[in-house]
């Protein structure tokens, strides 16, 4: 994990210091993954409708070991040995690209629409043997979701919270350019009471009974189809 973070910082630094090294075009695989997601929310929302639906999204540049070795002269000497030990590094080009969408109109009484961003994340591969890759990951989250319901106890809520997620994903390569993956992540948030808006406290009661009436955990199971294609960028 430390090596991956150091190499990621190296990639970012190389793009911010053009005076130290002239930029040159480098072609790397770009990986775009999209697929359905199923959400299980904490509290009384699950009592009415246990599962809500959405989309999981990922867009990454795959910097493999061959690319790292081919451009090792651009790596500072104190980080070069660490970089050469990495099989690959995955870099998301923009923090503004959503990590997931919640698109769940009401089936019974409750519906939810929302979006989650994951601006910072780090992964630890447990298995990385072609064609299977298993990775544990953690990241920072920012979620906005609007909840509405016909049930009087489920008050309309504008959920706006930062959070932290942990999860696992297994990825299987079908061909060099087509992959599938599936996994689970649990997002933990500062609790927010139903019927509230934004960053206020979740209620007068801060015991377990009060917590039961809040949104604080979004469990997410997902499956994605990945397409890879060559992408050229100046680094």
Domain ranges of the chain: 27-60+93-228
pLDDT of residue 52: 97
May I ask the CATH architecture of the domain 27-60+93-228?
Answer: Beta Barrel (2.40)
**Which residues partner with 32 through β-bridges?**
59, 227
CA distance linking residue 178 with residue 10, whole number of Å: 29
Question: What does pTM read for this prediction?
Answer: 0.81
Residues 6+ apart with CB under 8 A from 92: 58, 59, 60, 61, 121
The pLDDT profile of the chain, 235 residues, written as one tens digit per residue, is 434 444 444 444 444 334 334 566 788 889 999 999 999 998 889 889 999 999 999 999 888 777 778 777 777 777 777 777 777 778 887 778 999 999 999 998 999 999 999 999 988 899 988 899 999 999 999 999 999 999 998 999 999 999 999 999 999 999 999 999 999 999 999 999 888 886 555 544 444 556 778 899 999 999 999 999 998 876 5
**Which residues partner with 123 through β-bridges?**
137
pLDDT of residue 221: 98
Q: Residue 86: which of 10, 171, 180 has the closest Cα? A: 10
């Amino acid at each position: 994990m430390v090596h991956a973070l150091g190499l990621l910082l190296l990639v970012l630094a190389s793009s911010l210091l053009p005076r130290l090294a002239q930029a040159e075009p480098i072609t790397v695989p770009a990986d775009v993954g999209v697929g359905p997601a199923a959400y299980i929310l904490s509290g009384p929302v699950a009592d009415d409708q246990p599962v809500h639906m959405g989309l999981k999204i990922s867009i990454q540049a795959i910097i493999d070991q061959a690319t790292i070795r081919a451009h090792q002269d651009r790596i500072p000497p104190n980080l070069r040995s660490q970089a050469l030990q990495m099989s690959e590094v995955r870099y998301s080009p923009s923090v503004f690209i959503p990590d997931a969408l919640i698109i769940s109109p009401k089936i019974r009484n409750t519906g939810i629409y929302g979006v989650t961003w994951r601006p910072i994340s780090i992964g630890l591969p447990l298995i990385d043997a072609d064609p299977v890759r298993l990775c544990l990951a953690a990241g920072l989250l920012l979620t906005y979701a609007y909840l509405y319901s016909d049930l009087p106890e489920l008050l309309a809520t504008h959920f706006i919270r930062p959070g932290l997620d942990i999860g696992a994903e297994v990825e299987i390569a079908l061909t060099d350019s087509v992959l599938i993956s599936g996994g689970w992540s649990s997002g933990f948030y500062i609790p927010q009471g139903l019927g509230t808006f934004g960053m206020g406290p979740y209620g007068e009661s801060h015991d377990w009974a009060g917590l039961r009436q809040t949104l604080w955990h979004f469990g997410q199971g997902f499956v994605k189809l990945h397409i890879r294609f060559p992408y050229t960028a100046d680094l």
